[in-house]
Amino acid sequence: ITTAEHTIALLIALARRVPQANSSLKSGKWDRKSFIGVELQGKTLGVVGMGRIGRTVAARARAFGMSIVAFDPFLAPEQARDWDVELAPLNDVLSRADFLTIHTPLTEETRGLINREAFALMKDGVRVINCARGGLIDEEALHEAITSGKVAGAALDVFVTEPPASDHPLLALDEVVVTPHLGASTTEAQE
């Protein structure tokens, strides 16, 4: 529950540019035009990995009026139907998602799963969230995708190296929302 809730928190913060607007206002600016966001309703959330966390994220996102398209090679079509999730091949999920969230373990098969080729398949303006494991997303490819305008933003709770270096290129981008691996950081989860 805790990681799923953090994913939703980052999803909303990314869509509405909450951290950036907060910093701007606290620095003394009243700048509404720079922080126009996007609604979640009517958007497609791509979920890679439909384990407990992925399923919980999908259920919460559906409450915001999002449609869910998911990739999980271990998920039976009947289960996807029961959870009101459209099951699709990974390339389809990547190409259809307005927002993409990853919820898989880090294995040799999943390391760098979201790479240059994956970004090339995505819609222009996609937003990417990773609260699972550093290394699932190729950080250099993500940086390139954001600076080129392909990716509108990313929200990251995890990094390949933690903590990331203070000069990590992704930390310098306004389009990136970051937290220090807080996915399981609630009183309830720790108990």
Q: Residue 32 catalytic?
A: no
Q: Residue 162 catalytic?
A: yes
The beta strands (E) that lie in 32-165 are given as: 44-48, 67-71, 86-87, 99-102, 126-130, 151-156
Which residues, including other chains, have CB under 8 Å from residue 23's CB and lie 6 or more apart? Answer: none
Q: Residue 144 catalytic?
A: no
Degrees to nearest 5, angle at CA 111 with 173 and 148: 30
pLDDT confidence bin for 190, thresholds 50/70/90? confident
If you search the block for the tokens 């999803």, which residue do you land on?
11
* Strand partners of residue 86: 69
Give the Å distances, CA to CA, from 85 to 67, 72, 130, 180. 8, 11, 20, 30
Backbone phi and psi for residue 5, each to the nearest 5 degrees, phi listed first: -65, -40
Catalytic residue among 6, 133, 139, 143: 133
Catalytic residue among 39, 109, 117, 162: 162
124 pLDDT exceeds 90?
yes
Report CA 87 to chain centroid distance, whole Å.
18
CB atoms within 10 A of CB 33: 5
191 pLDDT exceeds 90?
no
**26-75: pLDDT as tens digits:** 999 999 999 999 999 999 999 999 999 999 999 999 999 999 999 999 99
Q: What is the pLDDT of residue 136?
A: 98
Q: Which of 155, 191, 160, 134 is nearest to 7 (CA)?
A: 155
Q: What is the pLDDT of residue 55?
A: 96
Q: What is the largest CA-CA distance in the chain?
A: 53
Please compute the mean of the pLDDT values over residues 78-99 and round it to a whole number.
Answer: 96
